[in-house]
Amino acid sequence: MLGGLARRVAFVEKEKASGKTALVVDSGDLFFDGRIREKSHPDLAKARIISRAYRKMGAIALNVGDLDLLHGVEFLVQLANEGLPLISANLVNAKDSSTLFPPFRIHEAVGLRFGFLGLLPPSRSSASFGPSRSDQNFIIQNPLEALREILPRIRSQADLVILLSDLGLQHDHQIAQTISGLDFILGGHEGRWMDQPTRQGQTFILQSGYKGMYAGRLNLQIQDPSRPFQDLGRPDQIRREIQTTDRQIRYLQQDKRRSPTEEFQRNLEYLNGRKSSLLKELEQVQASLGQGNRFLWTLQALDPSIPEDPEVLAWILEAGIQKDEK
């Protein structure tokens, strides 16, 4: 975790030094993992270093994930009071149901207003949105209900709305299928490596991998924020699918052991039909990509080819913590 942190800071600072507008956000589960020891000094020291690093990067919105609560809300409140931009739309005070952190943040850049809101799951192990989880200090509200309540407010203030989600991919799709008005969902919780987005309606859903080993980069080209986005990476994805289909067709045709049965013909017709559909989609996508809003999603591996930020390394050394590369 901490080995990759120093590289993440160096990577972000290099991006910003190049003159690009870079907005740094995180979807949650940033500070702790499930192997935490009760009130462990090393765990808390690591979390404080992570907090300092994200302030150094100029992060504008960090969603509270359920693992971030393992040392209690009070610790996160301390980090927020030190300037860490924590958000959560469904983590509320058990006494009066007020949100413990801002439910969303609006950030203006390149003449546009970007709205980021955050959600965490009501139960760490539930397979679906279930009852709220609570303790003496906080309640985690149903994410769908919280989103329905907050989305009109953020849409009235922002040109683009991006959900930072700790819900998991299945629930991200459920959210996008149920509620319109989200441009992107940047998800986490499961640590999926997704080098291409999935789509539900007009919402694109993305994840960037496990334990900060990759930095997800979402490059946006915006002409009219009220219009849908197109994926600049989709043509390459379609070409890869066509190549895969071609290989399957060749394998089927070259398998001399098979006799031309009805099943063989059905499989061949299916593959040829799929290839035809993909070629048609590729033509349509290529014709439309020159106009409108576009984006490109890429994953940057935070491997030893990227230098480590010396200041962050010094913090780790001063804290007496052994950085790991996992």
- As a whole number of angstroms, the distance between CA 324 and CA 83 comes to 26
Point out which residues pair with 214 in neighbouring strands.
Answer: 301
pLDDT of amino acid 41: 65
Task: Determine the pLDDT at residue 124.
Answer: 47
Instruction: Note the pTM of the prediction, 2 decimals.
Output: 0.86
- Mean model confidence pLDDT for the chain: 87
How is the beta sheet containing 293-301 ordered, strand by strand? 214-221, 293-301, 229-231
Q: What is the pLDDT of residue 50?
A: 94
Q: What are phi and psi of 31, to 5 degrees?
A: -100, -40
| Contact by Cβ (8 Å): 105, 72 | no
Rounded Cα distance between 269 and 130, Å, is 44
pLDDT of amino acid 253? 82
Give me the pLDDT at residue 43, please. 83
Contact between 147 and 103 under an 8 Å Cβ cutoff? The reply is no
The pLDDT of residue 130 is above 80: no
The bridge status of strand 293-301 relative to strand 229-231 is parallel
Classified by CATH at the fold level, domain 2-223+296-318 comes out as: Purple Acid Phosphatase; chain A, domain 2 (3.60.21)
- Residue found under tokens 């922002």: 158
Q: How far apart are CA 232 and CA 288, in angstroms?
A: 10
Delimit the domains of the chain by residue range.
Answer: 2-223+296-318, 234-288
Q: Is residue 144 helix, strand or coil?
A: helix
Rounded alpha-carbon distances, angstroms, from residue 184 to 17, 117, 255, 265: 26, 11, 44, 41
